[in-house]
Each structure stands twice: as C-alpha cells, then as structure tokens.
Structure 1
C-alpha cells in the first residue's frame, strides 16, 4: 500500500503548528512539511498536542505490518528530526531521522541525499480487516514527508517505492 503524503484525508492542526502541503517538492507532485519551523518539539501526549495527518487505509487481513515513511533529507543543527506514526487509537511510534549540519556526514547520509529520501520504519498492528486510519504526528518542526508505504505482502515495485495505490477521491 503506497500513499503520497500530500494525499491525506484530514489535517488536524494543534498548538499553533500544522502540516503544510508544498507543491513541486519531493519525488512526486508534493510533500508535506511540519510548520512553522520555529515551533517547539512535541514529545509527550502526541495524540492530543501534536499536529496530525490522517489517512484512510484498507487492510484485507489482520496482522503486523511494516510502515516506511519517506522523509526528505535536511540540514539541522539539532542533529535529528522526528515524527510519529500510529494506526487508529494505538499509541504512536516515534521515528527519528538523521539531520546533519556539519562534519562527517557518513555513508548513510550520502545514500539518503543521492536517493532524495530517508526511510524511517515502524510497525502497525491491524486487529481486523477493513478500513483503518493511519496517523502521522509532528514531533519536530521542519520534518518533510514525501510518501508512506505499508508492506502488506504484495510486490514492492519501483526503484525506491511503489507508485501510489488506488485512491478513492
């Protein structure tokens, strides 16, 4: 299951911060960025305090599945950028991306820049087949997300990720 991050079903701004769609950014048509970049990080009570994006997703089977968030590489003196992902009302999992300001960037950073994305992975547990809500939360401002992929066992396809799955509008 592949989702372009800009194709969310609902945005929930909170605490003076929100997710903004940036057309022409990323590997597809648009990406989403947590703004303003001066917002304070949210590290507690994410489901009630952090800006959120919601995506309707349909699973044909129950189980635990890997979710990969494709974020755009960035420079930041704090050394990392974080976001969180969760399914329905389950507690979200915080994912940490690498942000380098100066010094030795290393092989992982070079690969992320060459590919134009950094892949952050978590797992979600689906209790029953049917429609669910994938939730994406800002932890640090300035985090920019291009695509989300949930591995449900089908063929991956594509160089970095499969094209977007069928989407009802």
Structure 2
C-alpha cells in the first residue's frame, strides 16, 4: 500500500501512476472524479473505498467542486496479495469504512479523533476494561508509547492494538489520529 497526498487546483486534474487495483480515500476536502486508463470512472469523496475491475497504470483525478481540493489516498497494487473487500490490510486502512462494515461483530464500538501533540495525548485509556481491540489510523507519522514517559515507537498509517492498557501519541499537532475501539 502506498499513501499519496495530492493537491488539485480548482477544476483541475492530475495523474497518479502505478500498479493500482484499489483506491481508498482517507481525506478529501470535496468530491472529485477518478478515471483509470482502463475506462473505469467513479465520483469519490472522503471515506470511499473502490476496487477496480482491472489493474490501472494511470489514475486521473479531476476536481468537481470548483475549489482547491486536498486529497490523501491509499493506493493498493495488484501484487500486494488479497485486495478483496475482506482483506484485513485494506479494511483497516480506512477506519470509517471498517466501522460501517464490522461494528456489528463487536458488542459496540467507539470512534474518536485526536490531534497529536509534542507533550503527548492519551488516545487509549487503561481504564476501559471491556475493550476487545483498537484500530489506530494516522494522517502522518507519529510516535506512540504505553505511558506518557515510556519508550516510543513510530507509526505512520495503521496500528492494530491489542487493547490492553494506555496508549499515548506524540507528534505534530496537524496530524490527526482516528481511534476505533471495539468493546464487548
């Protein structure tokens, strides 16, 4: 999977090249058109997840809003194993879609969004006893630790957390962190 951030000018278009089978729209300030070099077209917006019938070498993005559009995509190549809608690596890349499709499997789920900070922000509380698992999705690289002063490791994308204890996030305040907690 490849994260790609693009800026579309008003009514403009841009091409993204690669071996593209699936496109997940993590962020988009407005709607846009995606067209593959295999003549597949779809209007897209934030949270959408598309599996194309054919592998594309060129994906053209065209603004539909008439204003500047900032888009963050996850591109999944055809050689990255199973790219079906049930593939866990693809599903967890988009927390909003996962919430829609898989929340029924848990007793309930909670979704929260946080902004990272240099001092750290607690994104998972150790006080939650009925958490089965948690999915953390970031808009950029952050560092996480099990306590505010603990050892840190870097996450850029998605983290599947086993749900025990606290989890703190450290980073630039412009980086957003989406957390989905599955509860029993």
Give the TM-score normalised by the residue count of structure 1. 0.31
Q: Which has the larger radius of gyration?
A: 2
Hey, which of these two has a bigger chunk of strand by percent?
Answer: 2
Give the TM-score normalised by the residue count of structure 2. 0.29
